[in-house]
Chains A and B, each alone.
Chain A
Amino acid sequence: MTPPDKAATRRRPRTSGKLRAVALMLPPALILFSLFVIAPLLNAGYYSLFHWNGYGTPQDFVGLRNYERAFDHSIFWVSVRNTVVLLLVSIFIQMPIALALALAIYRKTPTNAVFRLIFFLPFILAEIAAGLIWSFVFDGNTGLVAEITQALGIPPVFILSNRDWAFYAICLVVVWKYFGFHMMIYIAALQAVPSELIEAARIEGAKRWAVIRHVLIPHIRPAIVVSGFFAVIGSLQLFDLVIPLTNGGPSNQTHTIVSYLYTFGLTRLNIGYGSAVGVILFVAAVIVAVLYQWQLNRERAK
């Protein structure tokens, strides 16, 4: 039994130690995060109500005019359309390819390990490097495309300068760069499927395809939802690849929302306007996050 006064002296340093730990260890994170993440975000909302070039303090209050201007700007809608195209390509082309490859090589064998490394390789390269590599491949004078046109004896094709096709070329690069990431998510999930489950299905006479459809895929649904979320968020943020490939051209036809924001907001010092586009992007991201959380809860409830 501890005498009461001794218990009290024990508790006091503990509480003050707690206070000191909280007071010393938490503020750095709070300050850093508030200053460089939350404050800029709130400022984006504030600046978006002004016509402002970034110098002095914002004074020319324009209400929601910046938002109206964005919604009236045809290039803004081009960037939205491109983002939607990218999203559809990611979900309906990239993810199925990644899933098929994951099913082909998820088992732990040395050959599979090599293929896994190769497929994952583009993901670790910098977007800027990947973009430059592909702008070389697509170059009508020197690249792969040049090799093909030379072999066919037709004049050189510059796909990245083609208004109609340039963005699909960017989509191809996106698939090249990111399918390995999605594949790895599926592989991690597939390896966690209990092998007894697969064995049991086999013993009951299920064919390979039936095992995939009725055992493996239902089991990794949560992983597919996660990878879908990353595909959507990634599409909303794409920027680094666009700059070396097309820089948004020809005639602004290949902008994504972020490259639009950068080109029409920062390089022209329309801080107010760019902030409004940033807020629109933020709203889109929040909607995606809410839908994702909702879907995730539904998955868990199953």
Chain B
Amino acid sequence: MSRSNFLLGLAKVVVLLLCAGFVLGPIIATVLGGFKSTGDLRTNPLGLPKVRETQFYLDLITDPAFWRYMGNSLVISLAAVGLTLIVAAAAAYVFAQIRFFGSRFLLSYLLLGLVFPFATAILPLFITVRDLGLLDTYWAVILPQAAFGLSLAILLFKTFFDQLPRELFEAAYVEGCGYIRFFWRFTLPLSTPILATVGVFVFVQSWNNFLLPLIVLNSREVFTWPLGMMQFRGEYLTEWNRTLAFISLTLVPAIVFFLAAQRYIVAGLTGGAVKG
């Protein structure tokens, strides 16, 4: 019994390690690949670099275009987070706090976005953004990104606000505090966990988004990093090491951010899903 248990445990560890190798192998090969000369990469794609070439990483770090792509993505993602949080929280607050004619209908309307994929309306969205004169501006990405994040954000916020104690509002109201003041002074500060969860969720989606920037941004000045990276790949088609260095540099913020915010990421991506 104990022997078969031991064998079972051993098999489990071996399988887990194999899976970990499958997951990490390509990522490690990418980071190392950025340090290899083209010849080295051809003869020895997965091993340690024979001579550590730091040139490709240095070229990128000193390339203003690289930092511009990252900066554009950062500005767009932060703005999308800010806009989604404030607009969705205000709407969810109204639905949680105030009963009025048509509120249920309006809530269902705003939750429609949960149903359909972003891509279905991508061409008309391109036309709308173009007709508003927003092509090649940050707003072209920020506004649709926030709009598509609204449904889930409103759903999560309303569920959370519904659980806040109602007596608090009654007491504040007697003290002469109105709805809007109460929202700023009490509801938002009490809701930091859900704000953080939704904020992290929107940030990751916006930071990684490719399809939306692809259709509304044409000028390299406003490119987000995924667009910049594809552009870069196209320019250095035969020099994989340069692209691998680019990818590796974008992995760093992703992994750091993930480790810092993993609680919220996991809660937002799986907890919300399980409850939904």
B23 and A176 form a contact (CB under 8 A): yes
* Residues of A bordering B, CB below 8 Å: 14, 17-18, 20-22, 24-26, 28-30, 32-33, 35-41, 43-44, 47, 54, 101, 104-105, 115, 117-129, 132-134, 136-137, 139, 141-144, 146-147, 176, 180-181, 184-185, 187-189, 222-223, 226-227, 230, 233, 236-237, 239-240, 243-244, 258, 261-262, 265-266, 271, 274-275, 278-279, 281-282, 285-286, 289
State A35–B27 Cα separation when bound (angstroms).
40
State A87–B20 Cα separation when bound (angstroms).
24
Q: Is B60 among interface residues, defined by CB-CB distance under 8 A?
A: no
* Residues of A with C-beta under 8 A to B117: 233, 236-237, 258, 281-282, 285
Chain B residue with Cβ nearest A117: B262
State A120–B98 Cα separation when bound (angstroms).
40
* Residues of B with C-beta under 8 A to A122: 23, 27
Q: Is B198 among interface residues, defined by CB-CB distance under 8 A?
A: no
* Residues of A with C-beta under 8 A to B29: 136-137, 144
Contact A243:B12 (CB < 8 A) given known A21-B179, A176-B23:
no
Count B-side interface residues using an 8 Å CB cutoff: 92
* Residues of B with C-beta under 8 A to A147: 45-46
B123 and A265 form a contact (CB under 8 A): yes
B112 and A38 form a contact (CB under 8 A): yes
Q: Which residues between 225 and 268 of chain B lie within 8 Å of chain A, taking CB atoms?
A: 226, 229-230, 233, 240, 243-244, 247, 250-251, 254-255, 257-258, 262, 265-266
B119 and A32 form a contact (CB under 8 A): no
Chain A residue with Cβ nearest B226: A128
A133 and B127 form a contact (CB under 8 A): no
Chain A residue with Cβ nearest B145: A36
B211 and A33 form a contact (CB under 8 A): no
Minimum Cβ distance to chain A for residue B161 (Å): 12
* Residues of A with C-beta under 8 A to B180: 17, 20-21, 24-25
* Residues of B bordering A, CB below 8 Å: 12, 15-16, 19-20, 22-27, 29-30, 33, 41-42, 45-46, 83, 86-88, 90-91, 93-94, 97-98, 100, 106, 109-110, 112-113, 115-128, 130, 143-144, 146-148, 150-151, 154, 173, 178-180, 183, 204, 207-208, 210-211, 214-215, 226, 229-230, 233, 240, 243-244, 247, 250-251, 254-255, 257-258, 262, 265-266, 269-271, 273-274, 276
B240 and A136 form a contact (CB under 8 A): yes
Contact A121:B210 (CB < 8 A) given known A21-B94, A285-B120:
no
* Residues of B with C-beta under 8 A to A125: 208, 251, 254
* Residues of B with C-beta under 8 A to A141: 42
> What 4 A-B pairs have minimum CB-CB distances, sorted nearest first?
A36-B147, A29-B91, A40-B121, A21-B179
Q: A180-B23, A239-B211, A262-B122 are in contact. List 14 more A-B contacts (CB 8 A).
A: A14-B173, A17-B178, A21-B178, A22-B100, A37-B147, A101-B16, A117-B262, A122-B23, A125-B208, A188-B271, A237-B119, A240-B208, A278-B124, A282-B117
B208 and A127 form a contact (CB under 8 A): yes
Minimum Cβ distance to chain B for residue A111 (Å): 9
B119 and A261 form a contact (CB under 8 A): yes
State A136–B180 Cα separation when bound (angstroms).
54
State A222–B274 Cα separation when bound (angstroms).
8
State A137–B144 Cα separation when bound (angstroms).
34
* Residues of B with C-beta under 8 A to A266: 122-123, 126, 215
Contact A118:B24 (CB < 8 A) given known A17-B178, A141-B42:
yes
* Residues of A with C-beta under 8 A to B30: 133, 136
* Residues of B with C-beta under 8 A to A124: 204, 254-255, 257-258, 265
B230 and A243 form a contact (CB under 8 A): yes
State A54–B127 Cα separation when bound (angstroms).
7
A26 and B90 form a contact (CB under 8 A): yes
